């Protein structure tokens, strides 16, 4: 814990590597600053900073600082800002992002600080919350009230991350296309991280060329279409906690994009063998791809 009298910003929090650029974002009327690390996310350094006046805490901030490039924390800020504009009672309030003055290869993200309860939120509240931001975001998208203006139906205006994994958010008008691009990138990442596998390579080809078209293409064929919804991008239980004050679920660590409202998943977090089991099952169940049903595919089939 660090507690000091007002000094130039770099000296204030130098022991915990919070520099002048961050202090400019949280400057206020205070007598002293208190700061402490609150864990390690694996790819950033979380910090709680409190501005104190007259022996009472006036403001508290959560700060994440990382060296994986500015796209990760900028993406989180942009994602959280959109989510907060739709369901502010259930989203950690984002405040700023930027580049550290003393370490230009490090970026930071600042939000309001909340006292969170480390327990699973009420599932009815949670599901209601998810439905609210899906529906609300779809309405905004259809009313052309999204800024910056989308350049397609699916994607995002910048790179966001699922954990440390950068997502391919280039705009397109096909859910099948953006889903397949994302899956291909996950498979390539797995291959680089865990080593090549002949079986994985073979299954991946069939997954991308047969299974995904068979399951997703019918949803956008003929008169069928999908609504674009803002999705969290990494909605897993560790990214949802209960607010101690309101008892409501709060979401954070978003890596959002515009996609199908059922595309909330946490990516390639399961062991390879379990993923291979799933891929074997799908490839065996849908060996012929979309072409097998194309002739009979219709809105009523």
pLDDT at residue 135 in the model: 95
CA angle 50, 51, 54 (to 5 degrees): 120
Min mean pLDDT across 107-111, 116-120, 245-249, 286-290 is at 116-120
pLDDT at residue 298 in the model: 60
Rounded percentage of the chain residues whose pLDDT exceeds 90: 54
The answer to whether 45 and 130 have CB atoms below 8 angstroms apart is: no
Q: Would you say residue 6 has pLDDT above 70?
A: no
Token pair recorded at residue 7: 């000094």
**For residues 50 and 124, which has the higher predicted lDDT (pLDDT)?**
124
pLDDT at residue 70 in the model: 77
Mean pLDDT of 188-207: 92
Min mean pLDDT across 35-39, 126-130, 137-141, 171-175 is at 35-39
Exposure pattern of 173-192 as b/e (b: 16+ CB <10 Å)? Answer: ebbbbbbbbbbeebbeebee
**For residues 293 and 241, which has the higher predicted lDDT (pLDDT)?**
241
Q: Would you say residue 15 has pLDDT above 50?
A: no
Sign of CA dihedral 37, 38, 43, 44: negative
Q: Would you say residue 7 has pLDDT above 50?
A: no
Token pair recorded at residue 192: 């680089």
pLDDT at residue 297 in the model: 66
The answer to whether 72 and 23 have CB atoms below 8 angstroms apart is: no
Min mean pLDDT across 54-58, 283-287, 290-294 is at 54-58
Residue 29: CB atoms within 10 Å: 8
Min mean pLDDT across 91-95, 280-284, 292-296 is at 292-296
What's the whole-model pTM score?
0.86
Residue 206: CB atoms within 10 Å: 18
Mean pLDDT of 77-99: 96
Query: In DSSP terms, which residues pair with 258 in a beta bridge?
Result: 155, 230
pLDDT at residue 299 in the model: 55
pLDDT digits (tens, 9 = 90+) for 241-285: 999 999 999 999 999 999 999 886 555 456 788 889 999 999 999
Q: Spell out the domains of the chain, with CATH numbers in brackets.
A: 2-116 (3.30.200.20), 119-294 (3.90.1200)
To which residue do tokens 């966001």 refer? 160
pLDDT at residue 2 in the model: 32
pLDDT at residue 35 in the model: 75
What stretch of H or E contains 235?
none
The answer to whether 42 and 33 have CB atoms below 8 angstroms apart is: no
């Amino acid at each position: 814990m660090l507690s000091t009298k007002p000094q130039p910003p770099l000296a204030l929090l130098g022991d915990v590597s919070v520099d002048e650029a961050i202090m400019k974002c949280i400057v206020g009327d205070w007598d002293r600053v208190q700061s402490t690390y609150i864990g390690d996310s694996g790819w950033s350094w979380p910090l709680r900073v409190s501005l104190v006046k007259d022996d009472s805490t006036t403001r508290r901030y959560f700060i994440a600082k990382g060296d994986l490039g500015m796209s990760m924390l900028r993406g989180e800020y942009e994602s959280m800002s959109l989510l907060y504009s739709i369901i502010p009672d259930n989203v950690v309030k984002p405040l700023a992002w930027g580049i550290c003055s003393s370490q230009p290869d490090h970026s930071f993200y600042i939000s309001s600080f909340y006292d969170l309860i480390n327990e699973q939120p009420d599932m009815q509240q949670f599901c209601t919350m998810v439905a609210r931001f899906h529906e609300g975001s779809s309405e905004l998208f259809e009313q052309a009230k999204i800024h910056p203006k989308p350049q397609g139906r699916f994607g995002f205006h910048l790179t966001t991350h699922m954990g440390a994994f950068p997502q391919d958010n280039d705009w397109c008008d096909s859910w099948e296309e953006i889903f397949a691009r994302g899956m291909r990138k996950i498979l390539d990442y797995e291959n680089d991280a865990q080593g090549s596998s002949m079986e994985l390579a073979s299954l991946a080809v069939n997954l991308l060329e047969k299974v995904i078209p068979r399951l997703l293409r019918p949803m956008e064929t003929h008169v069928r279409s999908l609504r674009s919804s803002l999705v969290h991008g990494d909605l897993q239980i560790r990214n949802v906690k209960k607010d101690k004050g309101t008892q409501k679920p709060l979401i954070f660590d978003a890596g959002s994009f515009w996609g199908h409202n059922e595309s909330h998943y946490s990516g390639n977090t399961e062991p390879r063998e379990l993923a291979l089991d799933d891929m074997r099952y799908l490839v065996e169940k849908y060996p012929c791809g979309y072409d097998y049903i194309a002739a009979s595919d219709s809105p009523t089939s």
